[in-house]
Amino acid sequence: MLLTSVPAMMEWGLHGEPLPPARALRWRLAALLVFVLLWSFAGGLVQLTRPFNPLFLPAPWVVLGAMVELATKGQLWQHVGATLERVVIGFAAAAVLAVALGLLAGQLRLVRNVVEPVVELLRPIPPLAVLPMFIVWVGIGEGSKIGFITYATFFPMFVTTVHGVTQLDVRLLRAAQSLGAGRSALFFRVILPAALPEILTGLRLGVALAFFVIVISEFIGAEQGLGYLINDGRNFFLVPQMLGAAVLLGLLGYAGNAAVRLLERRVLRWQRPR
């Protein structure tokens, strides 16, 4: 909704008045329905009038049909499973590494001085640019795909974790020390909870990036995975399969994001109680 008055903005900020959840959900579903309807209409029109080969723009039911066919043959779950496994392992390894190193670098200037310049140098290189090197070094097996996700998702999570620690209000440390906190209590009861909002933001960026980069690494030398399905569809001109795999990737990415959001809402309830 467009906010037209200053009082409305004063009351609700630029987001506007929040809709009741049931109505918000109905709006979202309606928008999705309209999108699918438009797609169906375009697909159907191409089928009827044939301005070009209808293979180029399959209607939603054709895409769905191709996916159902793959699923009944039992292949679809292998592909989804392979992609999910790579994403989960690669992302989890990166998260552990980035948060641990980030917490260390955030607190110890020496570590920060050593690690940060290297990270700042590597970070602007698009991860895709280093994929060929991963393949040269590690080969085209699972190792290089998982390692590539770990490499690509490490950076945003590391940077946000370091920032989360360094922006800590030192007065909180003073307050805790005056209540008797030693080094480990300061870490677990002040530094960690204070940095948690930023760490979770980093995790959300990491999840999104993991689904972003997995596809490309599955284009190269994979026999399974949603990226493989897309590339396979291109080679054999199976447009419905390409579109179906892309939609599935979108849904998985959405679910990953929703999972981190849920975690955020749980863990960061103190930011917006009730």
Partner 1 sequence: MTAMAIQVRGLSRSFVAGGRTTPALLDIDLDIADREFVCLLGPSGCGKSTLLNVVAGFLRPSAGEVLVNGRPVTGPGADRGVVFQEYVLFPWLTVAGNVEFGLRLQGAPSDDRRRTVARYLELVGLTAHAAKFPVQLSGGMKQRVAIARALANNPAIILMDEPFGALDAQTREVLQDELGRIQRVEHKTVLFVTHSIREAVYLADRVVVMTSAPGRIKQVVAIKLPDIRDRFAPEFTQYESEITRMVKEEVAKVHE
Please return the burial class of 173, using the count of CB atoms within 10 Å of its CB with bins 0-12, 13-18 and 19+. middle
List the one residue from 7, 74, 126, 180 that touches partner 1 (CB under 8 A): 180
Per-residue x/- track, 144-173, partner 1 (CB under 8 A): -------------------------x-xx-
List the one residue from 57, 115, 163, 189 that touches partner 1 (CB under 8 A): 189
**Is the C-alpha dihedral spanning 115, 116, 117, 121 positive or negative?**
positive
Nearer to partner 1, 235 or 271 (CB): 271
Total site size for partner 1, rule CB under 8 A? 24
CA atoms lying within 13 Å on the CB side of residue 128: 10
Determine the Cα–Cα distance for residues 249 and 227; give it in Å rounded to an integer: 9
Nearer to partner 1, 89 or 194 (CB): 194
One-letter amino acid for residue 12 of the chain: W
Structure tokens at 268: 């960061």
CB of 144 to partner 1, least distance (A): 40
Structure tokens at 207: 């999840």
Chain positions 86 to 115 lying near partner 1, rule: CB under 8 A, are: none
List the one residue from 45, 130, 181, 220 that touches partner 1 (CB under 8 A): 181
One-letter amino acid for residue 10 of the chain: M
176: contact with partner 1 by CB under 8 A: yes
Structure tokens at 88: 């989960």
Mark the segment that binds partner 1 (CB under 8 A) among 44-52, 135-143, 181-189, 244-252: 181-189
Using a CB cutoff of 8 Å and minimum separation of 24, what contacts does 262-271 make?
A: 263/200, 263/203, 264/197, 264/200, 264/204, 267/196, 267/200, 268/196, 268/197, 268/200, 271/197
List the one residue from 46, 87, 190, 191 that touches partner 1 (CB under 8 A): 190
**For binding to partner 1 (CB under 8 A), which residues are involved?**
169, 171-172, 174-181, 185, 189-190, 193-194, 196, 268-274
